[in-house]
Structure 1
């Protein structure tokens, strides 16, 4: 997509704030988007067990940072 820190990566990171994995989907990384969405929503769904919710929050933050720092391989 774009260089690290570019406008596209900023938009992707903002998308991840509201819906985990959406930023990766915007960047065209379907597998990463699915993995982040499943891990985050799975962790948040088990909030009452505390540990999965913390893990979900960590993956949510990781998804945001991953989208912001992404560099295309081309």
Structure 2
């Protein structure tokens, strides 16, 4: 997963559609995965308050974009 748009990044982004943070976990970034998962699952669990659910939806979209555009630590931007 060394460049944006690679097959691994696409698979990671698709994983985030089903469970937020799973794509980051596949890419080997457990801290980012944990943060996305906690915020999204917690926000969706409080759906009746509306605002946490909106925040969770924004974080899930952010997780998808983050996984799709991840370039790795060793690649040059």
Counting matched residue pairs gives 74
Gaps of 5+ in 2: none
Partner of 2:50: 50
Give the TM-score of the pair, scaled to structure 1: 0.97
Q: Where does 1:29-40 land on structure 2 (aligned, <5 Å)?
A: 29-40=29-40
Q: How far did 1:50 drift?
A: 0.3
4+ long deviations beyond 2 Å:
none
User: Any idea what the Cα deviations from partners look like across 1:16-69, whole Å, max 9, x if unmatched?
Assistant: 000100000000000000000000001000000000000000001000000000
Q: Where does 1:1-74 land on structure 2 (aligned, <5 Å)?
A: 1-74=1-74
Q: Once superposed, what is the RMSD of the aligned Cα atoms?
A: 0.6
Q: Distance in 2 between matches of 1:22 and 1:51?
A: 23
Give the TM-score of the pair, scaled to structure 2: 0.94
Gaps of 5+ in 1: none
Q: How far did 1:2 drift?
A: 2.0
